[in-house]
Chain A
């Protein structure tokens, strides 16, 4: 069964606007971690932000924030003030602490294109 779901089609966003990337997950573990990665066209995987299942506050890292809704099992990434360099694939990932042997499972990704 798919653990991480990213279903949005490719997105175009105007420079300087905010964009939200959806991610829903499926787990029965009470303890887990959620991660977002960016993959630009050059191919490298860049870690952006982390949210723990017990964290009380939504994670933020610069222009990146995570809208964590635990009851709905969603962990949407918000990129504020988009820049041309934000054009990339974005992957949501989850690590289940108890039942997943600490392995990281990835969604299929969201493509974002920032237009000037």
Chain B
């Protein structure tokens, strides 16, 4: 158990509403990531963080923002949800000292439906 908790686990929201997903880790790892998973696309990186207040964009960052004010929490916000953001969202951490060869450990995912 990598000590990663995602909340909520499921959410249904309406187009145009803001949504925030939370990722919480218990082990003070430096690197945290948000991915989305869609059929036929595998997992695609949205944003990642390499420390408190240090974040950067991934390959599918449009429409998303993130914040990391504490080591243990990494928040993903959809400012105005669209139907194309219906997906399963995974948070991940990189637990090793050498990030290069550390596998990512994933949370259990958040299933978001935008109607």
Contact = CB atoms under 8 A, between A and B. Distances in A.
Max chain B C-beta neighbours (<10 A), residue from A44, A47, A52, A103: A103
B44 A106 contact: yes
Interface stretch (A8-16, A67-75, A76-84, A94-102): A94-102
Q: What is the interface of chain B mostly: helix, strand, loop, or mixed? A: strand
B108 A43 contact: yes
A93 B105 CA distance: 13
Contacts of A91: 42-43
A78 B42 CA distance: 20
User: Size band of the B side of the interface?
Assistant: 20 to 34
Interface residues of A, number: 24
A40 interface: no
Contacts of B74: none
Contacts of B109: 43-44
A103 B35 CA distance: 11
Given A44-B108, A45-B106, A91-B42, 11 more contacts: A33-B101, A43-B108, A44-B106, A45-B90, A47-B103, A95-B100, A102-B94, A104-B33, A104-B104, A106-B43, A109-B42
